[in-house]
């Protein structure tokens, strides 16, 4: 009756965090890698006022978030990435990719 109660607890450290910064060069790193299909949290910190990237859009997740200067913004990606996950700024000019490895 209680079959199915076990939870998959493979990792001991909780969801991995992927840190992104917005610098004068855009999103850094422009390409990050995460283990395939594993939950992670994107942590984005905008460190400059000199680009148009004051918002981040992740179309595949229907996410659109403001990026306040010097404040970490956390976006959970509970299903992880099967292949690649693309993000762009609010004006579709700067962006990057998170790839499964």
Q: Say whether residue 66 binds Cu ion (CB under 5 A).
A: no
Nearer to Cu ion by C-beta: 60 or 91?
91
Compare residues 22 and 42 and give the one whose CB is closer to Cu ion.
22
Report, in Å, the least distance between residue 51 CB and Cu ion: 7
User: Residue 82, interface with Cu ion (CB under 5 A)?
Assistant: no
Can residue 93 be called a binding residue for Cu ion (CB under 5 A)?
A: yes
Please report whether residue 30 would count as binding Cu ion according to CB under 5 A: no
**Do 87 and 27 touch, CB atoms closer than 8 A?**
yes
Among 52, 66, 69, 82, binds Cu ion (CB under 5 A): 52
Question: CA dist 85 to 5, 19, 45, 58, 99, Å?
Answer: 31, 15, 18, 8, 6
Instruction: From residue 12, give the alpha-carbon distance in Å to each of 9, 15, 23, 86.
Output: 7, 9, 32, 28
The tokens describing 71, both together, are: 């404040």
Binding site for Cu ion (CB under 5 A): 52, 89, 91, 93
């Amino acid at each position: 009756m209680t079959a199915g109660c076990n939870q998959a607890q493979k990792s001991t450290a909780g969801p991995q965090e992927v840190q992104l910064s917005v610098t004068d060069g855009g999103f850094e790193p422009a390409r990050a890698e995460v283990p395939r299909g594993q939950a992670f949290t994107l942590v984005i910190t905008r460190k400059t006022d000199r680009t148009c990237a004051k918002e981040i859009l992740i179309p595949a997740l229907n996410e659109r978030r403001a990026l306040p200067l010097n404040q970490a913004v956390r976006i959970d990606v509970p299903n992880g990435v099967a292949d690649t996950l693309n993000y762009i700024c609010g004006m579709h000019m700067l962006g990057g990719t998170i790839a499964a490895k």
